[in-house]
Each structure stands twice: as C-alpha cells, then as structure tokens.
Amino acid sequence: MAFNIINEARRCLGCKNPSCRKGCPISTPIPDVIRTFLDGNIDEAGNMLFENNPLSMICSLICNHENQCEGNCVLGRKGSPVIFSCIENYISDTYFEKLDLGDIKKNGIHVGVIGGGPAGITIAILLARRGYEITLFESREKIGGVLRYGIPEFRLPKQYIERYKKLMLTLGIRIRPNTSIGTTITIDDMFRDGYKAIFIGTGVWKPKTLHIKGESLGNVHFAINYLTNPDVYTLGDSLNVIGAGNSAMDVARTALRHGCRKVTVFARSEHLAASVTEVESAKYDGVEFVKGVEPLEITDEGVIFIQVEKDGEGRTKHIEGTEKLYPAASTIIAVSQGPRDRIVSTTTGLDVTDKGLLVTNTYGKTTRDGIFAAGDVVRGARTVVEAVNYSKQVADAMDHYLKGLMDK
C-alpha cells in the first residue's frame, strides 16, 4: 500500500501556482505536503495537514475530490489526476496517533459547544488548544453528528470518530452525551453557570417533506432518519428513493447492504445532484436510476410518478398522461433537511432566516452577544470540509471576543 501511495505522490508536478489548492475549500497546501512526504518527513507532512484541517483524516475519505483538489489537478486535463485523497489519508492516518499538541496551559475560561458534528468537533479542538475549558453538549449518545449518523460505515468507518473522541478527551474537553440544549438545559442556564461564549453547531436534522399525499404511510421514511440507524428498519425486498443527492446514494447503497434486492433512485433532472463517484459506486452496487420524473403520490404499493420537461423559460412542467406507478415495498424521501428550532425557540435574541437557519455575520457571530454558530445550521446542508473551513474562522472570532472580555 505504501509503495502505491509513494508512486502516486511522485506523479505530482509540484506546480508553483497549484490549481489543486485553489480547488480545495480549505486551501490544503497539497504540493508542499507531497514534497515533504517524499522527502521522508511524514510526520511534518501530517502536521501540515492537521494544522490546516483538523478533520483532514476524515475529509480524505468523504470529500467530493472530483470537484475539488483532484478535479483541478492539471494532470487530469489529458489523463488521470494525482489521487491526493489516498495520499492524504495515508499521511493523516499514520500521523494521527503521534500528534504532538504540546503543553496546553488552561486559562479557566469556560466555553460551551452545542453539537458534536464536524463544526463542533473543530471548534472544540481549536479552542481547547488555546487554553479554553471546553464542554461539548451532544444530544445523542455518541459524538460525530452527520459523520456518525448520516454517512454509512462503508464510506466512513466509525473508528475514525472514536479516535477523534480520544484526542478531544486528551485535550481536556468534557463531553456531555444525551444532552439536548433547549429542553432541560437552556442557553440562558449555560450563561448563568459561567460560560463566557457559546458555539452552536447543531446541524440540520429536520427532514424536508414533498407535501404530497401518502407521506404518512407506514412504508414511507426519511433519509436522515434511516441513515441514523438502518438496522431498525424493515424495508422489504424493494425500495424507491426519491431524490438524487449524495444522501440518496448513501440510502440506496445502505439498503442493498441490508437486504433490499431492488433499489431505484428517482430524479427530476437528467443531471444528478450527487457526485459522479457516488453515482458510479451506486450503479456498481446495483442501484437503478429513473430520471426526468416527479412524484405525485405515495401509495401502499409504491410511488406514482409523472414525467417532466423544461418549458421555454427553464421551468419544470408535467407531461400530462405519463403518470405511472413504480411498485416498491418501501419509499425513502431524500430531498435534504433543515434545522430544528429547539434552541431558537428557547433563546431570546437569536435571529433566523426564513429557512430557520441562524443569522450570523461573516465570522459566525449571531445576533445575540456571546453566541456564535457555524456549519449546516448557518449555511444549510453543505460539505464537511466547508463546515471545517468556516469553523476555523469562527474559532478565531471567538478567541478574539473572549480575549476582549479578559481585557475589560
């Protein structure tokens, strides 16, 4: 394995103006990392990756590389790009257990982090390294958020998340599982108890509905709920998946691994929202696709779809007379999700958009003093690497805010 990684790294041209770095949402210094690795300094290369992206080891597995680093590699214009994802994973995985975070002097200032997903983990690690006393509140029994409960094991083994938990505990971060802020404990309670700043990174866990007849039937489920724990669902031998994003691909591939013999993904457009890699993987797993249709009604027997087309102004319209029942034992709706309002409804001073997302400035400061936010709860369902990148900015803003309190 190492030999293959080395050979792949040697293909890098070391561009002075690397397009791969420009294509990376977190601006990973790819040529520098590869050069350092090839020079025999894997620990230094690993440190470069970690300092730039604390979740580098995870992003190496789940990023949309074909549209980011690898999709912008100059070698890919006429041939195969450098597969940096494999190089990154090898370096990060090898280095992670050897992380030297140095001696951290605690400053006694308490910061609360609500949500143990990518944004919350990033904020907790960055601020803990700067000396803050961090308590992370997780509504479920284990941290990880979408990493644990939204991405299947075959794409992201859960042992990676456990390794991050171990690192967080080493940094002195306290984790309170099974604790939902906005129910028994409120944000006001946290300020009362001495937290000087609070970060909200609760993600988006409220499924969006289609608003069509049949969504409450017993054979209908939502993607985000199914992916949380597929083992508790009995789908039968056939499944219709409505939606064509990466979550839909995860649902389809997971269902096949849990006993479904036939899984069909339905999309309104000819262009699927999921990455090419995920679509191809789904096809190789045996997933079937039907494009250019829209659901009209869900029944006990399956879903009634109608064909659609674009009119002269680019709007989608139904083609009358093309209604057709596509039989299936179960249906899963995978058309994105939005935020729950548990925290907002119990906290004064927090403004939200018409979609329920928290309103923040460029640096994650909400409309209430001392409360910051990042990740999907601010920007909607986005990629993990985007959440990490934004959270780095927010960590700097929180640090600046807290130091300002100390100077008063």
Say which residue the tokens 């604390």 belong to.
54
* Per-residue pLDDT tens digits of the chain, which is 408 residues long: 576 999 999 999 999 999 999 999 999 999 999 999 999 999 999 999 999 999 999 999 999 999 999 999 999 999 999 999 999 999 999 999 899 888 899 999 999 999 999 999 999 999 999 999 999 999 999 999 999 999 999 999 999 999 999 999 999 999 999 999 988 899 999 999 999 999 999 887 788 899 999 999 999 999 999 999 999 999 999 999 999 999 999 999 999 999 999 999 999 998 899 999 999 999 999 999 999 999 999 999 999 999 999 887 778 899 999 999 999 999 999 998 777 767 877 788 888 888 888 899 989 999 999 999 998 888 877 889 999 999 999 999 999 999 988 776
The token pair at 225 is: 């709920």
Torsion-angle region of 110 (φ positive above 0: left; ψ -120 to 50: alpha; else: beta): beta
CA–CA separation, 163 vs 54, rounded Å? Answer: 12
Q: Buried b vs exposed e over 362-386: b needs ≥16 C-beta within 10 Å?
A: ebbbbebebbbbbbbbbbbbbbbbb
Q: What angle do CA 143, 350, 165 make, to 5 degrees?
A: 10
Token pair for 222: 């939502």
Helix (H, G, I), strand (E, B) or coil at 269: coil
Per-residue pLDDT, 310: 84
Return d(Cα 225, Cα 206) in angstroms, integer.
Answer: 9
Structure tokens at 71: 């999709």
Residues 6+ apart with CB under 8 A from 159: none
Give the global pTM.
0.93
Q: Quick one: how far is CA 123 from the chain centroid?
A: 15
Domains recognised in the chain with CATH numbers: 2-96 (1.10.1060.10), 110-205+339-407 (3.50.50.60), 207-337 (3.50.50.60)
* Residue carrying structure tokens 């951290």: 104
**Spatial separation of the C-alpha atoms in residues 214 and 99, rounded to whole Å:** 52
3-state secondary structure of 382: coil
Name the amino acid, one letter, at 99. Answer: L
Question: What was the pLDDT predicted at 382?
Answer: 81
Query: Cα 273 from chain centroid?
Result: 15
Q: What is the DSSP string of 5-62?
A: HHHHHHT----SS-HHHHHSTT---HHHHHHHHHTT-HHHHHHHHHHH-TTHHHHHHH
Instruction: Return the closest-CA partner of residue 95 out of 123, 56, 131.
Output: 56
What pLDDT is attached to residue 408? 66
> In Å, what is the CA distance from 101 to each residue of 51, 65, 118?
10, 28, 20
Nearest to 19 by CA among 86, 68, 88: 68
Interval 100-157: pLDDT, tens = 888 899 999 999 999 999 999 999 999 999 999 999 999 999 999 999 999 999 999 9
Query: How many residues does this entry show for the chain?
Result: 408
